[in-house]
Amino acid sequence: MSLQHAEKEVNQEVEDLKIVNKETLTQKSFKSNTLDFLIEKMFFVFGSIAIFVLLLILFFLIREGSGAIREVGIMEFLTGTRWYPSSPQGAGYGALPFILGSLMVTTGALVIAIPWGIFTAIFIAEIAPRRVREILKPAVEVLAIFPSVVLGFIALVILSPIVANVFGLSNGLTALTASVILSVMALPTIISISEDSIKSVPKDYREAAYALGATRWETIKTITVPAAKSGIVAGVMLGFGRAVGETMTVLMAAGNAINMPITEFLGVTLPNFLTSVRTLTANIAIEGSDVPWGSLHYSSLFVIALILFVITFIVNLIADLLISRQRRKLTNE
């Protein structure tokens, strides 16, 4: 009882001190006070610029794309399979081939990059001796800064002939080629986010598992990785976002043919990875530089950009929620 009373008294004293401090410390000259006030407001403007820019991008995409949405309808963009935006008669604005192209190339890249990235992250965070780690981490950093156009160039001159040879194709620029090179682009994101997440699992978790007689691998498998799960999934989501938004590598590796990348196999429609595809990003890059400003074709490219923006926005939002959930979980427990 007396302890509580003492605590209350101390708290009250601290509060009093705070008030006194505030009063005495803010008694400065009027000039420096106003200057400080103005500077604070100026930095507030700088600080909120990210919100402003994000809204500005969304506003301009909608503003420029609204013409095509009104004229053609959003369903035509999402479900139509014919893309002939500049043909005078029988124009088509179906972006489905591009949506499928983007999804296929990205999925293919993730199928490769997820096991590759997660196992590498586990190795770096939990298994590798210090000296090996000191080679691996810079290597991942160099991969992360590799200009995408150089990766696209390598896909074009080295990877595509290999793909053509292996599968007996006349042209090696396919969805598969793009998937392989894109996996290298998504890899550093997945590795670094997963590694951070695994490292953030408190030491006690591991020590408790060791004390119960678990081996190092059993600890990784049943304790560390499950505890880091949200962060690892977030890394995969960000890798997906990076891959779906990537332009140069797919532009140079996927061949860019406008067709539905599907094939019939025993009556079932399947994606065809051995055919040339064009992604949402590649289509903007190809048609964006010489389209007449203000035309319906120009406007329809903004609808495609809007589709991309929405996809990456949702993916980033989910990754964000997962990372903050992981942080909360590990600090509360």
Partner 1 sequence: MSKQLEQKLWFTICGAFAFFTIVALGLLLFSIIREGAHVISWSFITQPPQRNMTEGGVWPALVGTFYVASLTIIISVPVGIGAAIYLNEYATQGPLVRVIRMSIRNLAGVPSIVYGLFGLAIFASFLKIGVGLITAAITLAIMVLPWVITASEEALKSVPTSFREGGLALGATKWQTIRQLVLPSAIPGMATGSILGLARAAGETAPIILTGAAYFSRNLPTSLTDNFMALPYHLYILATQHAQASAVRPIAYGTALVLIMLVILLNMFAILLRNYYRKKNEVL
The answer to whether 82 and 92 are in contact (CB under 8 A) is yes
Checking phi first, is residue 228 left (phi over 0); if not, alpha (psi -120 to 50) or beta? alpha
Q: Which of residues 288-317 bind partner 1 (CB under 8 A)?
A: 288-289, 293-294, 301-302, 305, 308-309, 312-313, 315-317
**Is 210 a binder of partner 1 (CB under 8 A)?**
no
Task: Please state, in angstroms and rounded to a whole number, the distance separating the CA atoms of residues 216 and 127.
Answer: 9
Considering only residues 99, 163, 184, 232, which one is a binding residue for partner 1 as defined by CB under 8 A? 184
**Is 258 a binder of partner 1 (CB under 8 A)?**
no
**Is 190 a binder of partner 1 (CB under 8 A)?**
no
- Give the distance from CA 31 to its chain's centroid: 47
Task: Please state, in angstroms and rounded to a whole number, the distance separating the CA atoms of residues 201 and 224.
Answer: 7
Question: Contacts with partner 1: how many residues (CB under 8 A)?
Answer: 93
Residue 54 or 270: the one with the smaller Cβ distance to partner 1 is 54
Residue 89 or 332: the one with the smaller Cβ distance to partner 1 is 332
Task: Please state, in angstroms and rounded to a whole number, the distance separating the CA atoms of residues 196 and 72.
Answer: 46
DSSP-derived 3-state class of residue 262:
strand
**Is 322 a binder of partner 1 (CB under 8 A)?**
no
Place of tokens 């196999």: 265
Tell me which stretch binds partner 1 (CB under 8 A): 80-88, 103-111, 118-126, 325-333.
118-126
Query: Other C-beta atoms within 10 Å of 119: how many?
Result: 13
**Is 325 a binder of partner 1 (CB under 8 A)?**
no
**Is 115 a binder of partner 1 (CB under 8 A)?**
yes
Q: Which of residues 227-246 bind partner 1 (CB under 8 A)?
A: 238, 241-242, 244-246
Residue 10 or 157: the one with the smaller Cβ distance to partner 1 is 157
Place of tokens 């029988």: 90
